[in-house]
Amino acid sequence: MHEYALSQWILFFFIYSFIGWVWESCYVSLKKRQWVNRGFMHGPMLPLYGSGALVILVCTIGVRNSIPLVFVMGMIAATILEYCTGAVMERLFRVRYWDYSKVKFNINGYICPAASLCWGCFSVLLVRWIHVPIEYAVLRLPLLAAEGIGFVLTAAAAVDFTQAFNEAMDLKYILIHLEESRTEIRKLQEKLKVTAGEVKADCIRRVDQAAEKQRSRKAAYLEWLDMKREERRQLLEYLADRADTLLREEIPGRLLSVEQREELTQLRNTVENEMRKISGYTDQRWLHIASQLHRNPTAVSDKFKDAMDEIRKILDKKW
């Protein structure tokens, strides 16, 4: 392999990033039956393929004449790169942008035997056939021209990457806060169930106390109370129903203690605050998220699975 200048390595990176983008976009578009601009970035490039190609070229320098060794060395190097890239991206953005978790013998969903074998085959094709004409074309460029083209492509890619990075961070922000809101609301719902039960018990206790007081004062009322048992049952059902709908209807003050009233007010305020937080997600953020997920339809998040599913349901209706 020829000893390349830095600008030539940069050109190789962008060329193979573009080839990878063409392959992935066509493959995913055929599966989805609609055009998908595949990749983390907006432009026609997939940096993983560009990086993978460079890693393969470097690691197979000493074994280019042996197809089996090229296959093995390229497969190992590219697989390690794919695993490290996937792990770093998920740790940074809380999203797995490709997912092999349903494939047998996968490792944390980042790599799998099938993908590694594909990398091995790509390594052989790259070293023995694909790289030959590309190398010839790049080496024919004057070094000054290669440096100029490399600089322009790097600047454009930097701008594209910055925008894509911000979109991914928006997605991470929405996932975290949506999951926090869902968790908080679930806690509030459980707490409200307990509070409703306490109010119901308090209502029953107060009616029983009132009835007992009437019995002790006037025994003659016992017969009257017997006759009114059905009315009392209906009253208790009414009070129970009121207690179960605390957040939707007003409850007479005499049925709630001061502590219960304060707790319900605090719970209501908390729910309203969570709803305001969710409604505060701007249209621009939703557009960023839609763009990011549209380009990466296989993206998943184990930690925020429910939130991710909810976002996809929302976007499916608008994107």
Can you give the residue ranges of every domain in the chain? 6-141, 178-318
Length of the chain: 319
More reliable by pLDDT, 183 or 189: 183
The answer, yes or no, to whether residue 124 has pLDDT greater than 50, is: yes
Q: What is the rounded (10 degree) CA torsion for 45, 51, 56, 59?
A: 160
Whole-number Å distance between alpha carbons of 129 and 146: 22
Per-residue pLDDT, 262: 66
Residue with tokens 């490792």: 107
Among candidate residues 187, 184, 194, 186, the one with its CA nearest the CA of residue 246: 194
Whole-number Å distance between alpha carbons of 248 and 266: 15
pTM: 0.69
Per-residue pLDDT, 204: 58
pLDDT digits (tens, 9 = 90+) for 252-273: 444 555 666 666 556 555 555 5
Q: What is the rounded (10 degree) CA torsion for 43, 45, 47, 50?
A: -150
Give residue 36's pLDDT band: very low, low, confident or very high (50, 70, 90).
Answer: confident
The DSSP code for 36 is -
Give residue 226's pLDDT band: very low, low, confident or very high (50, 70, 90).
Answer: very low
